[in-house]
Structure 1
């Protein structure tokens, strides 16, 4: 590795993408992270002996390289995923379409009949958006009463406004045989894309960020470093502290709208396009409870539209050492757009108490955490917008990567792989003049 052959790589953002980029780049790199710790949305919050992630994070990849990378410097436990659903007071395994016996008979019958009807329709029927896809693969009854309701809650978007380029491997669509088997309680598999997963024994999911330390002689990390402006013509970055640095090669993992707003001289057309990129926001209630939970589920999906909660995560079941002895910890996820309505906090707790998931008397303490950029939304305009933005960024020599840099719904192992691929691309001698 020669820093004269491979210029120092400047990386904005110390999440898993940025760490993977730095780890796999053949030269030296510098990471600038605005928070006081690394990990990004894959980091964990610690309150005394209570540990909470930034939403549900699990490592379920079968990619042997990623598994070995995440194991570096981290002791890991393997667990069985036990997700469940909650709908109109009924509790049943996830995904619902594989377990129709658990629903009331009318709902189960309507879902199964609609699903069979859809399978009679030609495979060539045009699917132009996520709503079409749901009706085609799940039947109209389930799509309307389950998927659409949850989509509007979680994505804050009508499914007719979403594309289907993010759906693969994420949304289960059973065969007729699998759906019928589930109706009679004869299901042979869960139908979920997560069976077993790996999780750090201590420190929460954020401990999976330790791998960068095995190349720390080549990686410099600067925390509490918030970028305020980027001048691509001068290759200069300014920070909120007043500090400025020169860069040779720049990769940003920051949210695209934020990145565009920082660049000096950016055309107004590009600025306006970046403002059209949509994303969800997530508010988390991290709750410490007296007593150890007796329930075995890992997390719960809530379909009912009147309940603001999208998911409840039972951290004592998800991982080990997440709470002190004689305590439990749960996390409530509440999606929102623009501004969080604080009334949803009490509404969420009240709804879950009515369903029997918590007892307000058992609450030891609540910590609230806000994730302004939750998930990029794959709406129907996204690809066209991104093509224009990337064309401009290519002209000014700025590379973007990761969930927010590529504005793509990616899992943690996918951003690690993408970081590796981008590092290999930038380590290719043929790219030295283009991005230096």
Structure 2
């Protein structure tokens, strides 16, 4: 028996690709999808912050397009940065045109200086994220966007974070691209997501739900309580029935956050328990708003690096699909990061969000908020720091030794996309199928 913990994209993909083998999939919530989920409120549909599909793997793209045949629409990215009371296109490093001349000069001169510096031989896991920014983009771009934005998002000094995650998310441009961007010349798209796919109706929840037709029953409202890794037994609490359930497994697939999994394994080595407890992450308040005015913005999303704004990003779901809101209205999601132990009242967050949106000119003082709702995403972005670099390989290796495969963004404690989660589930299922097919030898 294969037991899967968590019906997010990684868990669902694993189950979908295990077809024909005995397995059970358990989900703590009533709905599948993990953070790749949507909910409806007063005529609006909100995702658990922005979830947009962009692909680098042909096989995963083909799978998703087959599962969601006729339900996806393609969009050309309309994302911007708001700083110095000016909108510039994303990504910042190749779109400084329109900023004050002295800011453009600092960004250009700083970037040019990086081209004459010797290439650092420091391993990515040993070089700080801040140093990576300075080495690759220069002190001007660091000052005017990269450092303030990322410190607002991560809620720590960038000296504490390593750079072994940035290669595909923050590509280094060529000098020509930077100069063109300073002059307002656009001759190519830049970044990993210049276009994206999004469901025409019902929000991102249709993606995880599309796997269900190929999956045996999901055991919902069942939370993992404890794993006896030596006897290979998993204990669950079934909230609907108010009872405990024990599963014996040959392999356990976990997609829950690594610290949560290890905490539930009493017989795990103490030094690795302590290592898991030392992993860090940042949480995000997802403030969802419905406004009784059409098209408060024509953009898909906007980044806010400056400290005068409490949020780091604002997105507009009805720009992805008008079906996500009510006629004559607009909707938006506002992202405010916070440390996991810090808590703020929803009313305070909504007021802060509204004040910042008015300051930016997105909302007007007379705008009526017909919906205002807050979701606290406890696990949002994991920290890549020096502790993670040492702890995660050792933890994952010991879990594997005990028949536990920890996958997905939080299961591998990494920065990955929806596509990556689906791909990890598919590959693991193929590995497990291969193990089942191996002949038994004396």
Q: For the superposition of Structure 1 and Structure 2, which TM-score range results when normalised by the shorter chain? A: over 0.9
Does residue 378 in structure 1 map to residue 368 in structure 2?
Answer: no
Say which SS state the counterpart of residue 168 (structure 2) adopts: coil
Aligned to 2:315: 313
Does residue 14 in structure 1 map to residue 12 in structure 2?
Answer: no
1:351 to 353, 356, 360: 356
Q: Is the 8 A contact 1:315 1:322 kept in 2?
A: yes
Aligned to 2:186: 187
Q: Is the 8 A contact 2:281 2:380 kept in 1?
A: yes
Say which SS state the counterpart of residue 405 (structure 1) adopts: coil
Q: Is the 8 A contact 2:350 2:372 kept in 1?
A: no
Give the direction of change, closer, same or farther, for the CA distance of 1:272–1:431 in structure 2 (3 Å limit).
farther
Unpaired stretches in structure 1, ≥5 consecutive residues: 1-7
Q: Choose 423-432 or 195-204, whichever is displaced more.
A: 423-432
For normalisation by structure 2, the TM-score amounts to 0.91
Aligned to 1:33: 27
Distance 1:100 1:179 in 2: 8
Distance 1:381 1:30 in 2: 34
Q: Is the 8 A contact 1:308 1:344 kept in 2?
A: no
> Which digits, 9 at most, give the CA deviation of each residue in 1:397-425, with x for residues without a partner?
21111001100110000111111111111
Q: Is the 8 A contact 2:297 2:362 kept in 1?
A: no
Aligned to 1:120: 116
* Equivalent residue pairs, number: 425
Q: Is the 8 A contact 1:377 1:409 kept in 2?
A: no
Give 1:194 shift: 1.1
Give the direction of change, closer, same or farther, for the CA distance of 1:85–1:73 in structure 2 (3 Å limit).
closer
Aligned to 1:251: 253
Aligned to 1:140: 139
Give 1:69 shift: 2.1
Does residue 63 in structure 1 map to residue 57 in structure 2?
Answer: yes
Does residue 226 in structure 1 map to residue 223 in structure 2?
Answer: yes
Distance 1:50 1:155 in 2: 29
Distance 2:439 2:151 in 1: 46
Aligned to 1:210: 209
For normalisation by structure 1, the TM-score amounts to 0.93
> Which digits, 9 at most, give the CA deviation of each residue in 1:213-246, with x for residues without a partner?
3423xx2201111111112233222223432222
Give the direction of change, closer, same or farther, for the CA distance of 1:63–1:391 in structure 2 (3 Å limit).
closer
Give the direction of change, closer, same or farther, for the CA distance of 1:189–1:294 in structure 2 (3 Å limit).
farther
Give 1:62 shift: 4.2
> Which digits, 9 at most, give the CA deviation of each residue in 1:202-222, with x for residues without a partner?
110111113323423xx2201
Give 1:141 shift: 1.9
| Backbone CA RMSD of aligned residues | 2.0
Give the direction of change, closer, same or farther, for the CA distance of 1:281–1:433 in structure 2 (3 Å limit).
farther
Distance 2:329 2:439 in 1: 57
Distance 1:432 1:225 in 2: 32
Give 1:170 shift: 0.7
Give 1:294 shift: 5.2
Q: Is the 8 A contact 1:299 1:312 kept in 2?
A: yes
Give 1:121 shift: 1.2
Q: Is the 8 A contact 2:103 2:144 kept in 1?
A: no
Unpaired stretches in structure 2, ≥5 consecutive residues: none
Aligned to 2:423: 417
Q: Is the 8 A contact 2:302 2:314 kept in 1?
A: yes
Give 1:48 shift: 3.8
Does residue 85 in structure 1 map to residue 77 in structure 2?
Answer: no
Q: How does 1:387-426 map to 2 (within 5 A)?
A: 387-426=393-432
> Which digits, 9 at most, give the CA deviation of each residue in 1:20-66, with x for residues without a partner?
10111251321100011000111111114211111111111143322
Does residue 276 in structure 1 map to residue 278 in structure 2?
Answer: yes
Q: Choose 369-378 or 315-324, whichever is displaced more.
A: 315-324
Distance 2:104 2:356 in 1: 25
Distance 1:386 1:162 in 2: 15
Distance 2:5 2:61 in 1: 25
Distance 1:294 1:271 in 2: 48
Give the direction of change, closer, same or farther, for the CA distance of 1:309–1:211 in structure 2 (3 Å limit).
same
